[in-house]
Every structure is written in structure tokens, then in C-alpha cells.
Amino acid sequence: MKVGVTKEIYPGECRVAATPETARRLIDKLGFEVVVETGAGDAASFHDDSYQDAGCVIADDAADVWNDADILLKVRSPQEQEVEYLREGQVLICFLAPAQNETLLEKIAGRNATALAVEAVPRISRAQKLDALSSMANIAGYRAVVEAAGLFGRFFTGQITAAGKVPPAKVLVIGAGVAGLAAIGTARGLGAVVRAFDVRPEVADQVKSMGAEFLMLEFEGDEQGGTSGGYAKTMSKEFIDAEMALFAAQAKEVDIIITTALIPGKPAPKLITREMLRSMRRGSVVVDLAAEQGGNCEATVPDKVVQYEGVHVVGYRDLTSRLAHTSSQLYGTNLYHLLDEMGGAEKFDVDMEDDVVRSATVVKDGHVTWPPPPVSVSAAPKEKVVESAAPSAVVEKKIGLFDVSLMVVAALLLVGVAMTRDQGFITDFTVFLLSCLIGWQVIWNVTASLHAPLMSVTNAISGIIIVGGMIQVGAADPIAAWLGALAIFVATLNIAGGFLITHRMLGLFRK
């Protein structure tokens, strides 16, 4: 089977659906033949020579690729002239935005072709490696901070110099999905003080683990913001009012706001009003990652940076394309895994019984199959089911021959000690047994988080030595007294050093 890769004709799009590296993997590991339009990767710094070295065939124009390939890999949705190239039985894989492009799906169906929308891949564990939407969101979040840094007039990190003090930038990230978490990590890496908000309470731990402050909404009610698909959902009016009040208060304090709030299939919610922009300090920056679907900010202008009351509002819709080399590599890898999931060249099949393939397939052999059946991937906690406790079985411990033998040996040992009639020896032996018991009970029962198992054993032995040394310190023989004191000193050092080393070991696992 042949896989075709064409040059993107959408204005300003620099990405390419396969890089020389991913094309080589398609050829060597999955057995495909790869045909690439000449100049397809130039905008992403992948030249024709690199594709030829990887084993690809270079076609002179897009028509040759469309006519020759069985599977077409693209980034953007096909334009009008590209749809005309589709033929019966051909498979198209790209971003299609099926919820907003019903007309496009009908046109593809009219060509009796099959189409897979990569953004429709469900967010389940086994599909993470082919989740192109998350890959692109990760890059967009990173690039959003870079764009903000270029427009912001100060350092992100705070500095104290001989010339004066520079406070750290304060960044608010609205939406803690993949893009939001990438923005948080990048801003934290640059030294900014980062705050984040999301309607899904289950992401709070992720935000905190990255060193940011999670803003809790003071709202009376038990409203959950997540859906079974792992995305945010539309909230009630009361919740939205409380949310907007929180944003209004934060706008007066922060220097940079990055918005990532999107609900699949719906226009982006307006979260940053013009009044909030007027309350921000001059020179502040708002980066709207939802500009593609209308924007989260009322002043957003798609594909432009505008100033509103001294605040920069970034509405770029091509943030991933501004890192075309990395974006293409990640996207190409996602497509490689998708084709691997579909069987490779020898067993290629659009299996509608496979949850991943079924969710991504929006047109199958001329029939529109969107929307797919839901696949539950929610991370929200499930309701606890109280089960009656089953009666525990009582296992009667049986005394075996080995246990009886130990008891007999112990009894004979005690009788032998008593038969010596040496009062001093009997006293020392009794002290030894008591010191063993005390050392084991005292040291062994210390909280497990304070010591390692091996360290607890050595400390128990040291405890025995200390008890014995304390007895010998009071002996009449000066040599025995000095040896007892030395034993106490050495054993004490061992115990103190043991706890110190354990404390340092545990510190390696703390933030």
C-alpha cells in the first residue's frame, strides 16, 4: 500500500504530516511505500533530499500524490480542490473538526472515500501515543508562554541586582488541560509565579505538582466540570458568575493571562471581558489559545496581536505552526502509531470494532459515521459502593515439630544456665535477654517512615549493646567499665547516624 504526503495549502500552515524519520518508520517497520510531494516539508525544514534518503518517492505535484496513494496523510482539513482529488476507497487521515464541518464530511462521503479525524481519538490509556490533539496542545501551551515573554516588558523571574529589584511575573493559566499544563511548566521554568484554574477539580493535584497555585472557586454546590470524555463541560449560570468574579479579581493582580478553555463542538466561552482588560496593568499580556473557535477574550482578533487599553491580546491560531519542525515530528509520530494500530501495510483495516479506530472514523466507505459512540475516560471519582464486610475466616495456628523443638531447646538452655549456680552469670544472662526484648520492642516499633528496614535491625542491635554497656559501666573492674562506656558511645553514634542517613534518603523523595 502507498501512503501519500502532500504540501499543506492552508494559508500560513508550515507543518507536514510526515517527517523523514517518521516516513522511514512507515517504510521499514510497517511496510508502506511513501510518496511525498516535492517541497512538502520545506516550511518545516525538511527537504526533499532527506525524504529520498529515508526511502520516499518524490512526486512532482499534489495531483500525482492524490492519484497514486491509497492513504493520504495531511495536517489541515482538505480544501475544496483537494476534496475533488479524493477517489473511491481512498483513506484520508488529518484534522477534520467533524463537529463543525458537517458539509465537508458529506463531500468526502460523496466521493465514496473514508476519513479519519485525528482529533477524535479517545483519550484512553492505549491511545495516548496517537493522540495528536494532545501533542499539538502541548506545543501550543509552550509557544503561548514564549509569545507572552516576547511582548512582556520584564523578566519572568524575579531578580535582585545592584541596580535594583525586579519582581517575578505573575501568570494566570485558565484551563489545566494539556495546553494549560504545558504553559504552567514553561512559565514556572522561566521563574514566574503561576496560578491556574480549571472547572475540573481532579486536575488540582497536577497543577500543584508542577509548582503552581490552584485557584479554588468559592461556590455553593457540588457541580462537576468534567465529562465522560475527559473534557470540560458547560456549567450553570451560578457557577459561571462565581468564575467570572474570580477572573475579575485575578486580572487586577496578574501580569499575563493564558486562556485555553474550549468545549468540543461549541464556540469558545468568553472568560476575559473588556472590563477585566481595563483593570489590568499597562504592558500586560493575554494569550488566547481558543482564538480558533472565537476566543476566550472579548478583544481577541484572530491571527493578530492587538492592544486594548495598553494590554497586548494575542490571537494567533497558528502557534503549533510556529514550531513547525517539532510539531511535524510529533504529529508524524502520532500518525505512525495510528497506522500501526490499523494493522500496517499487510493487514491495514478500518476496524469499526476497535474503540480507537471507530472513534476517529468519521466517514466510512461513503457513509458519515460521526458522531461515534461515547467512550468513558473520565478521571472524576466514582461513587463509593458500600459493601457488607464478609466474615473473616479464623485460621487456627497449628504447632509443628519445629516449634516444639525450639521450645525444648530453650527450656534446656534455661535449665543449663540455672544449673551453673553462678549468680553473676545468671544475672548477666537475664540482662541480656531483657535487653534483647527491650531493644527489639523500642526500636522495631518506630514509625516505618522514619527508618529503612535494614536500619531498624542495626538500631535494634545497637540498643541491645547500649543496655549491656550501661550494666557494665557500674562494674567494679575498671576495664569492664571503660569497655561498657566505649560500647555505649559507639552504639549511640551508630543509632544517630542511622537516623540521619535515613532522613537524607527520605529527603530525596520530597519536593
Which amino acids are annotated catalytic? 123, 128, 131, 134, 231
| DSSP code, position 215 | P
What is the Cα gyration radius of the chain? Answer: 34
> For the chain, how are helix, strand and coil distributed in percent, rounded to 5?
45, 15, 40
Q: What whole-number distance in Å separates Cα of residue 144 and Cα of residue 142? A: 5
Residue 266 is predicted with a pLDDT of 79
> Before 453, cis peptide (omega within 30)?
no
Written in H, E and C, the secondary structure of 307-364 is EECCEEEECCCCCCHHHHHHHHHHHHHHHHHHHHHCCCCCCCCCCCCCHHHHHHEEEE
CA distance readout (Å), 412 to 140, 368, 405, 426, 434: 79, 88, 11, 15, 19
Reported as a single tens digit per residue, the pLDDT across 96-130 is 999 889 999 999 999 999 999 999 999 888 899 99
Query: What is the number of residues in the chain?
Result: 511
The reply to whether 2-117+343-368 and 134-322 are identical in fold is yes
Residue 478 C-alpha cell reads as 575498671
Low-confidence ranges of the chain (pLDDT < 70): 219-235, 264-265, 376-400, 402-403, 406, 435, 437-457, 460, 506-511
- Per the CB < 8 A criterion, the answer to whether 5 and 37 are in contact is yes
Number of C-beta neighbours around residue 161 at 10 A: 7
Q: At a CB cut-off of 8 Å and minimum separation 6, what does 101 contact?
A: 77
Residue 91 C-alpha cell reads as 483513506
Residue 149 is predicted with a pLDDT of 96
Residue 393 is predicted with a pLDDT of 47
Q: What whole-number distance in Å separates Cα of residue 102 and Cα of residue 97? A: 9
Residue 426 is predicted with a pLDDT of 76
Domain ranges in the chain?
2-117+343-368, 134-322, 401-508
Residue 395 is predicted with a pLDDT of 45
pTM attached to this predicted model: 0.71
Q: What whole-number distance in Å separates Cα of residue 326 and Cα of residue 508? A: 33
Q: What whole-number distance in Å separates Cα of residue 257 and Cα of residue 147? A: 12
CA distance readout (Å), 171 to 72, 218, 240, 283: 41, 21, 21, 13
Assign residue 294 a region (left: φ > 0; alpha: ψ between -120 and 50; beta: otherwise). left
CA distance readout (Å), 143 to 160, 181, 194, 287: 28, 12, 16, 10
Q: Which CATH architecture has domain 134-322?
A: 3-Layer(aba) Sandwich (3.40)
Residue 246 C-alpha cell reads as 474570580
User: What is the b/e burial string over 399-412, where b = at least 16 CB atoms within 10 angstroms of the residue's CB?
Assistant: eeeeeeeeeeeeee
Vertex 370 angle, CA 17 and 12, to 5°: 30
User: What is the b/e burial string over 105-135, where b = at least 16 CB atoms within 10 angstroms of the residue's CB?
Assistant: bebbbebebbbbbbbbbbbbeebeebbbbbb
- Per the CB < 8 A criterion, the answer to whether 287 and 257 are in contact is yes
| DSSP code, position 171 | E
Q: Which CATH architecture has domain 2-117+343-368?
A: 3-Layer(aba) Sandwich (3.40)
| 174: enclosing H helix or E strand | strand 170-174
Q: Which residue has the cell 485555553?
A: 260
